[in-house]
Amino acid sequence: MSARGSNFWQCGRAATDRRFARYPRLPVARCEGFEATTAKLPAIDGPVAVAWSGGKDSTLARQRALLSGYRPTLLVNMAGADGTVRFHGVDGELVARQARALGAELLQVPAAPEAYEARFEEMLGELRKRGVAGLVFGNLHLADVQAWFETRTARAGLAHVEPLWGWAPSEVVAQFLAAGFRAVVVSVMEDRVDPCWLGAPFDQRFVAALAARADVDLCGERGEYHTFVHDGPGFAAPVGFALGEAIRSEGYWIRPARPA
């Protein structure tokens, strides 16, 4: 919906296939590029929150939720006990600056690993108190992970939204880059991705290096790497950041991201 209240349909394939117009003429009776989606997009009457890591998948999930007609007004960051994003090494203040750039509220929930489930369920209760109707996730294809979140979200009386569920990792990467988001690689699993990529832009060069490894998911769905998104559609201004020296932690090489 535009600022003037007009509704537009956007073609999901237009970003990667020039045969399709970005905004097709209406009404659309049929389309050669149509594929039935497996995404979980339940009807919701009310605002939604987004499970937010500050990386590419949560960023794209938020954008796709917007394009699907949802109203994501709140970002939820389940942080580590020290307030940074666990495994990412992103400072909590940077996450707050992302939220401000996107014009969204932010709920940061520090949680030690052993207390994660309890804190997650407390967070769901807080969402209910705030009048949030559903929670958006950026999961792609790990059924056990998706089921863990869906069970607890539904039990709390919230709708479970998965805009990217079932997408091929290559499509997620293509859509993210084509949309114009800008991100940097902040952590890599030490036995899967070469630490030389730490601090590199998330771009086609990095994606090509990942594609050469049969044991690496292109989207890092199994935790092979993590990113920090600092600019793109919906950002009022880029988020300034600085990267520290590489450190080794919990099986990852990480370049901690802090405010510039």
Q: Dump pLDDT digits (tens) for 195-223.
A: 999 999 999 999 999 999 999 999 999 99
Rg (CA), the chain: 18
pLDDT, tens only, 163-207: 999 999 998 999 999 899 999 999 999 999 999 999 999 999 999
pLDDT, tens only, 36-59: 678 899 999 999 999 999 999 999
Q: What is the 3-state secondary structure (H, E, C) of 122-177?
A: HHHHHHHHCCCCEEECCCCCCHHHHHHHHHHHHHCCCEEEECCCCCCHHHHHHHHH
pTM for the structure as a whole: 0.88
Helix, strand or coil, per DSSP, at residue 54? coil
Q: List, in order of start, the domains of the chain with CATH numbers.
A: 48-259 (3.40.50.620)
Average pLDDT, the chain: 93
Mean pLDDT is lowest, of 36-40, 146-150, 256-260, for 36-40
Better pLDDT: 212 or 11: 212
Above pLDDT 90, what percent of the chain? 80
